[in-house]
């Protein structure tokens, strides 16, 4: 069994550690922070004060460089306080000797919180401990009911925190409907109070809006000279674009999939909801051929239900271009979906095996693509799937 060393102490790093610990209690899990970075641990202890313990190591990346050789899954989190030089040094010291799989999580950006009431509007950017303390003090002073809106990764943990303060708080149903289906919202209502903006039942309501503030210089750049011997997964809000390195195996998932699709997708998998949920677990690998496959429904039922007009595109080795899934929405349902291959894309693709990610609730003309290189059963024992399932289960159920 893999031990897991999570590098970086951003809240997302510790969050991953806690989810993995709950999913696999017997597995050894370490959180190894970068030097001088403790904000995430403090923030996470506030947002999740009752979380299960995770081994915390004050050792530097030198310790990680030795330990990772012993069958360790390394999770690297890109954080706001992480210097580029330090990150480059970590990669350089381990290049050519890393034998474990690796998950790289890109930094989401600063958290922005806006408190609006009849007394005025107050904005906070939670990028350091001082701003976090000011925000919490302002939160404590609020006496009226609080309506929280924003992405689930922010709004739900904060709602839990506010409820523990014995304050009356609600999550906006309209905001969550963008992420969850009705059946999932029904399950969530057992744990968190949902509030409809169309309701006038409460007066003196304080609105708390949460969002990520991405920074252009926080995008993840991949050094094409680096070589990895195992699978590498990229996911997060700031992954710049689809990229593939030759002689390596990597999976890149476009940013919107995580925030807009994964909640519904993984919730569907967890609760065995029928129908395809947008993420592919079953692959038919054919070199140089693209095939549309699905989970949940047999392919013929999928084709009938969603009226797929194109299911296969053949590409030769070394072809440059980009593959898009283009469709129209009809009352929330994707219809007329087809695969479109466009040449002249700005990056170079060396294609061994490329499969489209079917996002069933995407807006028209958006494309989501999943890239897999030479591994038939890559997702049968996929650490990314395990981690994300655990995240959803821990946060929302």
Domains identified in the chain and CATH numbers: 3-100 (3.40.50), 110-213 (3.50.50), 255-397 (no CATH)
Query: In whole numbers, what is the pLDDT of the chain averaged over residues?
Result: 46
146 and 168 in contact (C-beta within 8 Å)? yes
| pLDDT classification of 348: cutoffs 50, 70, 90 | very low
Distance in angstroms (rounded) separating the CA atoms of residues 218 and 220: 6
Please give the share of the chain, as a percent, with pLDDT higher than 90: 0
Task: Please give the pLDDT value at position 249.
Answer: 33
Tokens found for residue 36: 């001088």
Q: Please state the rounded mean pLDDT for residues 106-116.
A: 68
Reported as a single tens digit per residue, the pLDDT across 242-296 is 233 223 333 333 333 333 333 343 333 333 443 333 322 222 222 122 222 222 2
Which region among 99-113, 189-203, 221-235 has the lowest average model confidence (pLDDT)? 221-235
Tokens found for residue 183: 């059946």
103 and 236 in contact (C-beta within 8 Å)? no
State yes or no: pLDDT of 209 exceeds 60: yes
| pLDDT classification of 29: cutoffs 50, 70, 90 | low
| pLDDT classification of 56: cutoffs 50, 70, 90 | very low
Tell me, rounded to whole angstroms, the distance of Cα 354 from its chain centroid. Answer: 21
In this structure, the strands spanning 312-314 and 289-291 are antiparallel
Distance in angstroms (rounded) separating the CA atoms of residues 18 and 29: 9
Q: What is the 3-state secondary structure (H, E, C) of the chain?
A: CCEEEEECCCHHHHHHHHHHHHHCCCCCEEEECCCCCCHHHHHHHHHCCCCCCCEECCCCHHHHHHHCCCCEEEEEECCCCCCHHHHHHHHHHHCCCCCCCEEEECCCCEEEEEEEECCEEEEEEECCHHHHHHHHHHHHHCCCCEEEECCHHHHHHHHHHHHHCCCCEEEEHHHHHCCCCHHHHHHHCCCCCEECCCCCCCCCCEEEEEEEECCHHHCECCCCCCCCCCEEEEECCCECCCCCCCCCEEEECCHHHHHHHHHHHHHHHHCCCCCCCCCCCCCCCCCCEEECCCCCCCHHHHHHHHCCCCCEEECCCCCCCEEEEEEEEECCEEEEEEEEEECCCCCCCCCCCEEECCCCCCCCCCCCEEECCCCCCCCCCCHHHHHHHHHHHHHHC
Q: What is the four-CA torsion angle of 102, 103, 104, 110, rounded to 10 degrees?
A: -150
Distance in angstroms (rounded) separating the CA atoms of residues 72 and 386: 16
Task: Please give the pLDDT value at position 241.
Answer: 27
The most confident of 111-120, 266-275, 279-288, 376-385, by mean pLDDT: 111-120
Reported as a single tens digit per residue, the pLDDT across 129-169 is 567 678 878 888 888 888 888 766 567 667 767 777 778 88
This model's pTM is above 0.75: no
| pLDDT classification of 172: cutoffs 50, 70, 90 | confident
Task: Please give the pLDDT value at position 200.
Answer: 54
């Amino acid at each position: 069994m893999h031990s897991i060393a999570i590098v970086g102490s951003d809240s997302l790093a510790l969050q991953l550690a806690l989810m993995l610990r709950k999913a696999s209690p017997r597995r050894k899990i370490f959180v190894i922070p970068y030097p001088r970075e403790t904000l995430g641990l403090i923030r996470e202890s506030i947002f999740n004060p009752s979380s299960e313990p995770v081994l915390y190591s004050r050792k530097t990346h030198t310790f990680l460089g030795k330990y990772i050789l012993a069958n360790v899954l390394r999770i690297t989190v890109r954080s706001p306080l992480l210097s580029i030089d330090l990150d480059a040094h970590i990669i350089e010291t381990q290049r050519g000797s890393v034998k474990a799989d690796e998950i790289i999580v890109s930094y989401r950006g600063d958290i922005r919180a806006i408190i609006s009431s009849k007394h005025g509007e107050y904005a906070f950017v939670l990028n350091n401990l001082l701003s976090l303390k000011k925000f919490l003090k302002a939160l404590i002073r609020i006496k009226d009911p609080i309506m929280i809106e924003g992405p689930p990764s922010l709004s739900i943990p904060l709602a839990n925190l506010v409820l523990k303060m014995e304050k009356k708080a609600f999550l906006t149903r309209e905001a969550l409907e963008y992420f969850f289906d009705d059946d999932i919202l029904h399950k969530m209502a057992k744990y968190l109070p949902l509030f409809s903006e169309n309701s006038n039942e409460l007066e003196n309501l304080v609105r708390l809006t949460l969002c990520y503030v991405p920074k252009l210089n926080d995008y993840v750049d991949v050094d094409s000279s680096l070589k990895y011997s195992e699978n590498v997964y990229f996911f997060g809000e700031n992954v710049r674009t689809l990229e593939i390195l030759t002689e390596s195996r990597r999976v890149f998932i476009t940013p919107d999939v995580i925030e807009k699709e994964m909640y519904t997708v993984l919730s569907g998998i967890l609760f065995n909801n029928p129908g395809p949920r947008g993420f592919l677990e079953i692959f038919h690998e054919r070199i140089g051929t693209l095939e549309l496959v699905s989970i949940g429904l047999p392919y013929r039922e999928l084709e009938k239900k969603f009226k797929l007009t194109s299911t296969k595109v053949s590409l030769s080795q070394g072809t440059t271009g980009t593959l898009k899934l283009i469709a129209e929405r009809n009352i929330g349902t994707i219809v007329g979906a087809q695969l479109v291959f466009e040449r002249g894309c700005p990056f170079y693709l060396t294609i061994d095996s490329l499969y489209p990610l079917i996002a069933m609730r995407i807006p028209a003309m958006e494309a989501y693509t999943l890239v897999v290189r030479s591994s038939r059963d890559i997702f049968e024992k996929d650490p990314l799937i395990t981690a994300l399932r655990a995240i959803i289960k821990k946060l929302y159920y």
